[in-house]
Amino acid sequence: MKKRLLWILLIMFFFLLIVALGLSYFFYKLGPKEAAVASNSYLEIKLEGRLDDYTPSLPFFEFFPARTVSLYDTWMNLRKAARDSRIKAVVIKFGLLDSDWAKMEELRQAVLEFRQSGKPVLAYFEELPEADKEYYLASACDRIILHPLGWLGVNGLAAYVPFFKGTLDRLGIKAEFEHIEEYKTAYNQFTETGFTPAHREMLQSIYEDIFNHYLREIAAARQKTPEEMKQLIDRGYFQGQEAVASGLVDELAYEDQLFQRSQLEKYRELTRISNDKYASVRPESFGLNLGKRVALIFASGTILTGTEEQIALGSETFSRWLRAAVKDRSIEAIIVRIDSPGGSAVGSDVIWRELVKARSEKPVVISMSGLAGSGGYWMALGGHKIIAQPQTLTGSIGVIAGKFSLEGLMEKLGITTDRLVIGKRADAFSFYRDFSPEEKKILREEIGYIYEQFVERVASARNLPREEVERVGRGRVWTGRQARELKLVDELGGLPRAVELARELAGLPSETEVRLVVWPARRSLWDLILGRKTELSQARQTLERLAGYRKMIDIFSRARVWSLMPFWLY
């Protein structure tokens, strides 16, 4: 009987193996191949929806035509298109974009670099009543074109921050959080009814710094003075001929007329290739991404301990990627691309420790994207050099911890509880009751210790006096430009500068091309079938991400000390 069962199990195993191999081959044959590019083509980059630094494709998901094209793939596409003789022009078509200012800066620099090839770049708007970030990128293009009936809003920056304390009070819910120090405002929305002086001062400083940079750049691009451009921004909204007369756009046209104007008539017979399809074209064909290998590790999302990968950045997962890059003898240097508001203080410290060990073996360059604050800045301290965009949000050297107490809500609803506790503080983080005064004191002492460790790491890594770190810390968020002045980062720049710096630190010739080896790696169907548990859960996690709430649920539901930024600026 046992032998018969064994044979049945073996037959089932080999049957499943054959099915898996067959499916793998099937999807390999049907999977995306390198796109055919016509000899006279233009690259269309459609910017609409969420723009992530990097999106590792998953089996099945890559067959959907609306797959998001990441910042990294778009940057690489522009590099390829500059050298590809088949690509004669680029059209950037703007929709409602969900991105931050630093990513717009990264793309803007890529567009300006592409224009050195002599090929034209056109920006096209149909209608976008809130278009300042998009217009900032469009101002780097050769021409800006608006639909004849299009409405363009270039009206500056604004922020409305909702505060929920009044609602929580009515419900009987109490937000109990201790923070260090006054600028650490991650939970102010739940503990205050409006801005504290420190909260307002910090936001005002950030918005003004980003706006002033934006104003200078678009004024220069449109050949106006900052004063002239400010007057247009104060006016705010422009339609059709008003936008042309003001000098904000160059002409009006329907999309099918983009190449029918006199200046671009020689391009009128071009064939469109989408950004998505062009991403399949190998950069090696144009002498790019060749030569010595440099690891590019993307560290995106809220930092948590463990093996999170899609929704958040798990410290164990990141450490595994980093150790693999260090162990690989063909890797000459490592670039860590951070786009994280922070998260778990322990998780951040685990990653920092791994980076410190890695830099003893190989050069490590930190490239900051839109967010690299609090725990994101903590981990950045492990690199040899830190590079940020002028609009990157960073710093936020501070700590926060606490919980939500539902004691009042349950009383209003008539819900009673019976308490069984073995250990004086076993239920300290229970949402069934408030903190006691003694527990608040203990919590304050705990996060105070974590803050002291944070300050010490910053002082040591940045070679700054402790008093200076205390002054620029206190939970305050800075822009990348401000952070450079405060010596919290080394340089301003994007991914190209990070590659240059990694090359320099590795002692590679400045004129040589390098091959970027990216983590997380793109997964095949075979990886999904035989991979780790974390890989099997990627499809589920990708769908969960669409809901947009997992990040906040993780933060609110876990009893731990957080090194987390107070807001996300989009």
CB 351 within 8 A of CB 323: no
By CB atoms closer than 10 A (0-12, 13-18, 19+), residue 497 is: middle
Whole-number pLDDT of residue 62: 47
Q: How far apart are CA 381 and CA 556, in angstroms?
A: 26
Angle, CA 387 vertex, CA 382 and CA 392 arms, to 5°: 105
* Per-residue pLDDT at 56: 75
**pLDDT score recorded for residue 546:** 41
Residue 199 falls within a domain, yes or no?
A: no
Contact predicate 78/90, CB 8 Å? yes
Instruction: Work out the number of other CB atoms within 10 angstroms of the CB of residue 250.
Output: 19
Residue 533 maps to a domain: yes
Structural tokens at position 155:
């009206």
Report pLDDT for 570: 44
SS3 category, 42: strand
Asked whether residue 386 falls in the same domain as residue 246, the answer is: no
The pLDDT assigned to 498 comes to 98
pLDDT of residue 530: 47
Rounded CA-CA distance 551/311 in Å is 7
Which pLDDT tens digit goes with each residue over 404-459? Answer: 999 999 999 999 999 899 998 999 999 999 999 999 999 999 999 999 999 999 99
Q: Please tell me whether residues 313 and 378 are part of one structural domain.
A: yes
Question: Over pLDDT 70: what percentage of the chain?
Answer: 84
Quote the DSSP letter at residue 35: P
Grade residue 2 by pLDDT with cuts at 50, 70 and 90. Answer: low
Whole-number pLDDT of residue 295: 98
Same domain (yes/no): 393, 540:
yes
Residues 273 and 388 both lie in one domain: no
Quote the pLDDT of residue 4: 66
Q: Is residue 417 part of a domain?
A: no
- What is the arithmetic mean of pLDDT over 28-55? 85
Residue that is last in its domain, among 268, 284, 300: 284
Average pLDDT of the segment spanning 549-560: 48
Q: Which residues of 280-312 are buried (b: 16+ CB within 10 A; e: fewer)?
A: ebebeebebbeebbbbbbbbbbbbbbebbbbbb
Q: Does residue 313 sit in helix, strand or coil?
A: strand
Domain co-membership, 265 together with 366: no
Q: Examine residue 201 and state whether it is found in any structural domain, yes or no.
A: no
Q: What is the pLDDT of residue 169?
A: 96
The Cα-based distances of 91 to 35, 51, 124, 274, 447 in angstroms read: 18, 17, 7, 10, 50
Residue 450 forms part of a structural domain? yes
Asked whether 194 and 163 are in contact (CB, 8 A), the reply is yes
Residue 389's pLDDT band (cuts 50, 70, 90): very high
Position 1 scores a pLDDT of 55
- Encode pLDDT of 116-134 as tens digits: 999 999 999 999 988 999 9
pLDDT exceeds cutoff 60 at 325: yes
User: What pLDDT, on the 0 to 100 scale, is given for residue 260?
Assistant: 79
- Residue 560: its pLDDT value, please? 62
Q: Which of 227, 254, 284 corresponds to the end of one domain?
A: 284
Q: Return the SS3 of 272.
A: strand
What's the mean pLDDT in 172-184? 95
CB-based burial of residue 14 (10 Å sphere; 0-12 exposed, 13-18 middle, 19+ buried)? exposed
Give the pLDDT band of residue 507 (cuts 50, 70, 90): very high
Alpha helices in 65-196 (DSSP H): 71-83, 101-115, 132-138, 165-171, 188-191
Is it the case that residue 26 has pLDDT exceeding 80? no
Give CA–CA dist 486/467, Å, rounded: 13
Read off the amino acid at residue 512: T
Q: How many CA atoms lie within 13 A of 257 on its CB side?
A: 12
| Position 510 pLDDT exceeds 90 | no
Tokens 């890989």, located at residue = 535
For residues 98 and 77, state if they share a domain. Answer: yes
Cβ atoms within 10 A of the Cβ of 129, count?
A: 14
For position 545, what pLDDT does the model report?
43
Same domain, 453 and 376: yes
CB 49 within 8 A of CB 97: yes
User: Would you state the pLDDT for residue 333?
Assistant: 98
Specify the pLDDT at position 59: 44
Is there a single domain that holds both residue 379 and residue 308? yes
Q: Is the pLDDT of residue 556 over 70?
A: no
145 shares a domain with 82: yes
Half-sphere exposure of 462 (CA within 13 A, CB side): 31
Asked whether residue 277 is assigned to any structural domain, the reply reads yes
How much of the chain exceeds pLDDT 90, in percent?
A: 77
Q: Report the CATH number that the domain containing residue 248 is assigned in CATH.
A: 3.90.226.10
pLDDT band at 200 (very low <50, low <70, confident <90, very high): very high
Burial of 428-458, coded b for 16+ CB within 10 Å and e otherwise, reads bbbbebbbeeebbeebeeebeebbeebbebb
Q: Which helix (H) or strand (E) holds 292?
A: strand 292-300
Please report the pLDDT score of residue 566 as a whole number: 62
pLDDT at 561: 72
Q: Could you tell me if residue 23 is inside a domain?
A: no
CA–CA distances in Å: residue 253 to residues 221, 256, 275: 21, 8, 22
Q: What is the mean pLDDT of residues 221-227?
A: 98
| pLDDT value for 214 | 98
The pLDDT assigned to 35 comes to 86
Q: What's the pLDDT at 11?
A: 72
Separation CA 354–CA 477 (nearest Å):
25
Domain extent at residue 247: 41-155+236-284
CA atoms within 13 A on the CB side of 38: 12
Tell me the pLDDT tens digit for each residue of 47-61: 999 999 998 754 444
Encode pLDDT of 468-478 as tens digits. 999 999 999 99
pLDDT in tens, 3-23: 666 666 667 766 666 665 565
Q: How far apart are CA 297 and CA 340, in angstroms?
A: 13
> What is the total count of domains within the chain?
2
Give CA–CA dist 381/378, Å, rounded: 6
User: What does the H/E/C string look like for 352-411?
Assistant: HHHHHHHHCCCCEEEEEEEEEECHHHHHHCCCCEEEECCCCEEECCCEEEEEEECHHHHH
φ/ψ region of 165 (left if φ > 0, alpha if ψ in -120 to 50, else beta) reads: alpha
Q: How confident is the model at residue 264 (pLDDT cuts 50, 70, 90)?
A: confident
* Same domain membership, residue 393 and residue 259: no
Q: Is residue 272 part of a domain?
A: yes
Are residues 279 and 297 both part of a single domain?
A: no
Domain boundary among 244, 260, 284: 284
Q: Is residue 559 domain-shared with residue 450, that is, in the same domain?
A: yes
Whole-angstrom CA distances from 485 to 128, 299, 490 are 35, 25, 9
